[in-house]
Amino acid sequence: MSENRVIVITGGSSGLGACIAKNFARKGFGVCINYIIDADAEATYAELVELSDESKIMKYKADVADREQVHAMFDAIIEQFGRVDILLNTAGINRDAPFIEMTDAQWDAVIGAHLKGHFVCSQEYVFHNTENPGLIINLGAACGQVGRKNGANFCSAKGAIFAFTKCLALELAPRIRVNCMVPGSVQTREVIERYDLETDEGLAKEIATLPMGRLGEFEDVIHMVECIIGAEFTTGANFYVNGGQLMI
């Protein structure tokens, strides 16, 4: 899969976004990581340059829910690479709280980072890729379908992304495909902290929910992204990479 395509990864400086960025840097893609946290971005950018070539790697700080910042980011991507082929929307935040204690600020921040962020970035991607075949991969979550306590904002945003994906798939076909990846208990910093996976008790409890009997690895997610890229006759679909934790 070594070629000249360009992939943009929002939230690409850490977690799943960073591991995916490193994979495609190794394969020779042009890679742009969008970020908010400077320290994470500097470290990830340095790793990407070591894996590839500085001319094929860029980082861009932008709030994914801010139209002007995102528009400027895509302008910069076109200026550096001359094209944009794949958008991977992984940026997002958590602001958990019991429903009756959740503030407007907590609601707005999470809905903005996830749902509005997907909307703005996807629209600007389409505005900047006017001719070539393209692909948008959105990031869903099982809780967007089954819910969880203290996450009404996050679950609502993720649930809406499933519908958002289908709407875009219908409107942008056949030139641009739009699919949704739904990872489960992959060993990111957020998952480890949320489920207390550094303790034997927390780890055993989480593994008991996984028919595959283990936590997800970054490589599992990378393989799924590559599968979605290669699935050229598939749009509007959900791709689950969760060890059987949710079966729909």
CATH number at residue 165: 3.40.50.720
Mean pLDDT throughout 188-200? Answer: 81
pLDDT over 70 (residue 136): yes
Q: Give the confidence band of 221 by pLDDT, cuts at 50, 70, 90.
A: very high
User: Which has the higher per-residue pLDDT, 186 or 83?
Assistant: 83
Q: Is residue 52 part of a domain?
A: yes
CA distance from start to end of the chain: 30
Q: Would you state the pLDDT for residue 73?
A: 98
Mean pLDDT throughout 149-178? Answer: 98
Q: Quote the domain boundaries for residue 27.
A: 6-184+217-236
Residues 37, 238 contacting (CB under 8 angstroms): no
Q: What is the dihedral of CA 91, 77, 66, 177, to 10 degrees?
A: -60
Q: Which three-class secondary structure state does DSSP give residue 209?
A: coil
Q: Is residue 93 part of a domain?
A: yes
Q: Is residue 197 part of a domain?
A: no
Mean pLDDT throughout 185-213? Answer: 86
Residues 186, 217 contacting (CB under 8 angstroms): yes
The mean-pLDDT minimum among 155-159, 216-220, 228-232 falls in: 216-220
Q: Would you state the pLDDT for residue 187?
A: 78
Q: Would you state the pLDDT for residue 198?
A: 86
Mean pLDDT throughout 214-232? Answer: 95
**For tokens 């480890």, what's the residue?**
192
Residues 196, 190 contacting (CB under 8 angstroms): no
Q: Is residue 103 part of a domain?
A: yes
Which class for 148: exposed (0-12), middle (13-18), buried (19 or more C-beta within 10 A)? middle
Q: Is residue 242 part of a domain?
A: no
Number of domains forming the structure of the chain: 1
Buried b (16+ CB within 10 A) or exposed e, 85-124: bbbbbbbbbbbeeeeeebeeebbebbbbbbbbbbbbbbeb
Q: Is residue 192 part of a domain?
A: no
Provide the percentage of residues in the chain whose pLDDT is more than 70. 99
Q: Would you state the pLDDT for residue 208?
A: 93
Residues 192, 132 contacting (CB under 8 angstroms): no
Q: Is residue 99 part of a domain?
A: yes
Q: Is residue 91 part of a domain?
A: yes
pLDDT over 90 (residue 134): yes
Q: Give the confidence band of 68 by pLDDT, cuts at 50, 70, 90.
A: very high
Dihedrals phi, psi of 243, to nearest 5 degrees: 60, 20
Distance CA 44, CA 89 (A): 17
209 Cβ contact list (under 8 Å, min separation 6): 185, 245
The number of helices, as runs of H, and strands, as runs of E, in the chain is: 10, 7
User: Which has the higher per-residue pLDDT, 184 or 125?
Assistant: 125
Residues 241, 19 contacting (CB under 8 angstroms): no
State the number of CA atoms in the 13 A half-sphere of 176 facing the CB.
27
pLDDT over 50 (residue 1): no
pTM for this one? Answer: 0.95
pLDDT over 50 (residue 116): yes
Q: Would you state the pLDDT for residue 190?
A: 79
Q: Would you state the pLDDT for residue 2?
A: 47
The average confidence (pLDDT) of the chain is: 95
